[in-house]
Amino acid sequence: MSVTDFRVMGEEITLEPSIEEEKTIKRTGYYSSLYPVKKMQGRICLFLVDLCEKFTFFEVVCNMIPFCTGKLGYHNYHAAILNLCFTGTSMMTSVLVGWLSEVYLGRNKLAYLCLLLHFLGVALLSAVTFPIGDLCTGTSHVVNNIPTEEWERVFYGALLTISLGTGGIRAIVCPLGAYGLQEYGSKKLTSFFKWFYWFMSVNATIVFLGISYIQHSGAWALVILTPFMSLLMALITLHMIYCNLIYQPERGCSLMMTFGVLVNALKTCCLRCHHPGREVTSWLDHAKEKYGGRNSELYVEDTKFFFTLFPLFIFQLLYRVCIMQIPSGYYLQTMNSNLNLGGFLLPIAVMNTISLLPLLVLIPFMEYFSTCLHPSRRDGPFLMACIIAGNFSAALSVMVAGCLEIHRKHFPQLEQPLSGKVLAVSSMPCFHLILQYLLLGVAEALVNPASSVIAYRFVPRSIRATSMNFLTLFNGFGCYTGALLVKLVYLISEGNWFPNTLNKGNLESFFFLLASLTLLNVLGFCSVSQRYCNLNHFNAPNIGGSNLEETLLLQEKSLKFYGSIQEISPSIDRWETAL
């Protein structure tokens, strides 16, 4: 065929589109007109699913210690460790389920499985915590015929299934990318993360107020509302799957690819020790194909940027231990204080709401203050200052908690009912503990948005999802670090620094130890903080093609749903592309 004939054919196709192309254009216009409605519907469903998931999760966390110490007879340290492990497992399973959905199983099938696990766990937990012993079958109590060990096994099984279901829902239905992260350029990401945590704080405030009502109403509200919220979440999620409202995550270097680069580099490096060859600038370069490895140069270079974030992740472990004192050490301290407020027994979950007030107030002021800064000071230096100040605030909160624990033991004791038991507690009003909760809220308002921005922007686009996954993993590791610290302190001090009866021990010594470790951790982080001040260091002139690709991808404003059609016809047809 001659070139002239080819051009004539291209003109005929261009001037006289086929019936299928006309249908495609009409269908594209139809979906474009429905896009704002679908976007708003997806955001509303996402908010409701996140609300239901947080309600069931924090309902378990807020009632774990009273149930374990009151119903199961556990020591305080055992209940605190169990609460920390449950929280950490729920965080880490979200990364595991997200990886499974990308590699082995489909996201829809895995969503069905996680919803089933979540509802099953909530139902089992409600059956365990419901006071069936008050109900009688004939002349004998039902629960008394079942050994305590059997109830503990059911209890642990319920916690495990809830953590798996919670992690799956967070990874599939409520991932970070579902909040429109791909719509923002580099300059607006800082504002996005600030307002993201602000809206999450509003959501958590609603949840804790609801939990406070449940703690005030009694066990019947726990049995009815918690399974209802799980069922409602499942129905909304099924609607999102049916209407293709679940968001498509970004594709990039997966977790296994990153681990593959690490393992390949270590293996090649060990072989080079026995057979020396060319020198490399970094030990990760051994994973490159030109140095005998199996990975391309692009993947290895992206992994290099990722591994520079490890000091940031590691230095945040003790900060996370301080934050996790709210459902462990602070909870025990509040439980052993006077909750009576003019004849009204204050629910302990109200103190969690107080810790959220600094996030609701400070984040708008921080956003305004950052806009007044010079652009060169707005990103790296300002974010580093926020993280350092937030870690100091967390250390100060734990130190204040230790001082208030000494102050609490000077008050006379009184009897106070809690979870069906009468406890001998201090007569110090629980409002004296407000300062330590507020300081932890200030720490979260400063650290969480800043660390998320650095973890997202410090690495190239292809590995950003992996970076955020590792940030979540280290948050889970922080919970396990807190559980390990409680266990070690209990064993070394023989129960004196984390006592079963607070008035007969020295819980303040545990708080002072944690505050000292956190201050040393801040000094160590200051020594490496300068490397994170430049958030665009990977956009070097020698990788201009990657920078061009980054710029083009950031122009995509459309949200990608599973199974939906969101394609726009290109201005250049396929024949002109071939020419």
pLDDT at residue number 578 = 32
Q: What is the pLDDT of residue 292?
A: 65
> Measured between alpha carbons, how far is residue 558 from residues 31, 183, 562, 568 in Å?
12, 7, 13, 11
351's enclosing H/E stretch is: helix 349-372
- pLDDT tens across 393-449, in order? 999 999 999 999 999 988 888 888 876 678 888 888 889 999 999 999 999 999 999
Residue 374 tokens, joined = 């010079």
Neighbours of 262 (CB within 10 A): 16
Residues 507 and 77: beta-carbon distance below 8 Å: no
pLDDT single digits (tens) 370-389: 777 656 566 678 888 899 99
**449 with 190: CB under 8 angstroms?**
yes
Helix (H) / strand (E) element for 424: namely: strand 421-426
Looking at residue 348, what is its pLDDT?
A: 87
Helix (H, G, I), strand (E, B) or coil at 326: coil
- CB of 249 closer than 8 Å to CB of 382: no
Q: Are 356 and 410 in contact (CB under 8 A)?
A: no
Asked whether the predicted pLDDT for residue 455 surpasses 80, the reply is: yes
Q: What is the DSSP letter of 295?
A: B
Most confidently predicted of 163-177, 326-340, 533-547: 326-340
- As a whole number of angstroms, the distance between CA 206 and CA 48 comes to 12
Q: Strand pairing partners for 345? A: 340
pLDDT at 119 over 90: yes
Angle at 434 between CA 352 and CA 521, to 5 degrees: 80
Say which range, 6-20, 91-105, 146-160, 258-272, has the weakest mean pLDDT: 6-20
H helical segments located in 409-532: 434-457, 464-492, 507-528
**334 vs 259, more confident:** 334
Mean pLDDT of the chain: 77
Checking if the pLDDT of 141 tops 60, the result is no
More confident residue, 280 or 307: 307
Cα gap 158→153, rounded to integer Å: 9
The predicted-structure confidence for 169-218, as pLDDT tens digits, reads as follows 988 887 766 565 655 555 677 788 888 889 889 999 999 998 888 777 76
Entry pTM: 0.81
Q: Mean per-residue pLDDT for 41-68?
A: 89
The answer to whether 176 and 99 have CB atoms below 8 angstroms apart is no
Render pLDDT for 6-53 as a digit per residue (tens, 0 to 9): 343 443 334 444 554 444 444 444 344 456 777 788 788 888 998 999
- End-to-end CA, the chain: 14
